[in-house]
Amino acid sequence: MLSFNEPFFQGHFPGKPIFPGVLILEAMAQATGILAFKSVGKLEPGELYYFAAIDGARFKRPVLPGDQMVLEVEFIKERRGVARFKGVAKVDGEIACEAEMMCARRREV
């Protein structure tokens, strides 16, 4: 549950607090990274999954203080070390945000 006491609510926006869209995308990106690590092939020593892209992000409804946001991430496909996922953030079963995200399996730099 998102508490009104979170510092980002104070300035986004005064008098009408809304959970910042960039933080919704960040949460979805982190969930994508975990799913990539757990499900898309074994990493070789010295490899990492790097977050590579967000495509088609759409915000359908605001996420407000007191809301419980649920993330769903689904693997779509992998080609040449780049995995594509579909992510959805929901509040009360209603889509708040959706996007496609990509992770790239690459050697550590």
Q: Give me the number of domains the chain comprises.
A: 1
Residue 2 lies inside a defined structural domain of this protein: no
Residue 69 lies inside a defined structural domain of this protein: yes
Q: What is the pLDDT of residue 18?
A: 94
Task: State phi, psi for 86 to the nearest 5 degrees.
Answer: -110, 130
> Exposed, middle or buried: residue 81 (CB in 10 Å: 0-12, 13-18, 19+)?
middle
Alpha-carbon distance 105 to 44, whole Å?
Answer: 10
Among residues 12, 61, 86, 106, the one annotated as catalytic is: 12
Q: What percent of the chain has pLDDT over 70?
A: 98
> Exposed, middle or buried: residue 28 (CB in 10 Å: 0-12, 13-18, 19+)?
buried
Q: What is the pLDDT of residue 86?
A: 98
Residue 105 pLDDT class (50, 70, 90 cuts): confident
- What is the extent of the structural domain holding 74? 8-107
Residue 95 pLDDT class (50, 70, 90 cuts): very high
Residue 48 lies inside a defined structural domain of this protein: yes
Q: What is the pLDDT of residue 43?
A: 80
Residue 27 lies inside a defined structural domain of this protein: yes
Residue 79 lies inside a defined structural domain of this protein: yes
- The CATH number assigned to the domain holding 95 equals 3.10.129.10
Distance from the Cα of residue 92 to its chain's centroid: 18
Active site residue 51: no
Residue 1 lies inside a defined structural domain of this protein: no
